[in-house]
Structure 1
């Protein structure tokens, strides 16, 4: 993988929270190569595991969001049902007693009040059945249109959701495309700078070699000057 580093600037303040500091990302995944080399994935996972073992969080990164309200939406019926589930109690069966027409018990067969309650119960049951018949008639007259309207509403909601999904996918595609273009351009610049750096280092090396050779020649000349009748002080 080529050595590359980019800085991500967080300039947006989400929901009024301060932006996190700049993060240096030493990777250009759309430009770097070597991710598929044998052992690269294992080495990365090893680094992550090592960092996970050594990292000890010292602050709550979600404290600005406040305490979650897990039970704010629960109704009394839901709370009762959750309690039943936590206690592993069986669900109560649907009571059909209200639909029954029992006669008075054996000890009250001659009790006028008991029979009167049974008659009143039968009236209530009859009224209930008449209401059900009325509801069925209303459904027969208007249920089809209501169902069509309901289906149309569902279809509209589905189309809106699909449209939002397409827009999100388009935005994701645009973001990935922009990232690829930016990283490709940055990679090209890094490659050019790397070549310039290599050239300059090579030139510096050549200059250093030339300086060493000149120093050798100067040293040899200084050694040869006394033999020609010239003192070293001159």
Structure 2
């Protein structure tokens, strides 16, 4: 009997050790889940600092406006791309605001730091400047000429995406205005713009993570303004990004 008891005791200790390890693992997981914001502790805010840093921040009023606008954006399937061409949105970079400068140069002048202009063009034709590119976080020196494509003008909501989510039913004039609306345009790194293509929030996000909040807010604002819809995947991604945004 004494021998059997001495053999049983270690087994009880091993079981106790396993149970203790499991409890510690569960506790560690709970703490980790709280830290990343997966669970909430009553009366204690989850910091999730690195989650929020991944998408950045916008002013509180803009964030709340975007969340309200997202709730009103319809969710539908993507319509066929049939019939889409760039020409469906009118002349590229038309002077829709009639200020004497085409839209591309307007956006370059707005987004570049210290832009210079071709003499005699009424400060219209941008020759050079520095872009603090929001999509990649890099500084790009723009020089008109062979390397002009290093900086491109991106449609935040791509024309093809808009075509498949409501723009097919628009008038030609509304499509022209949409394609040249400064709210939907941003000077950006050329390769990043090419990589984006006609991607929506569900399929492409700026590589520069701290800019993703501002980018999502811009997409939501444009789609809400023009009555465009989102797919379920895009709507879910927009909600995820806005939920992670910090109010500045």
Indicate the structure with greater strand content: 2
Interval of TM-score (by shorter of Structure 1 and Structure 2): under 0.3
TM-score by length of 2: 0.19
Structure of higher RCO (CA pairs closer than 8 Å, 6+ residues apart): 2
The structure that has the greater radius of gyration is: 1
TM-score by length of 1: 0.20
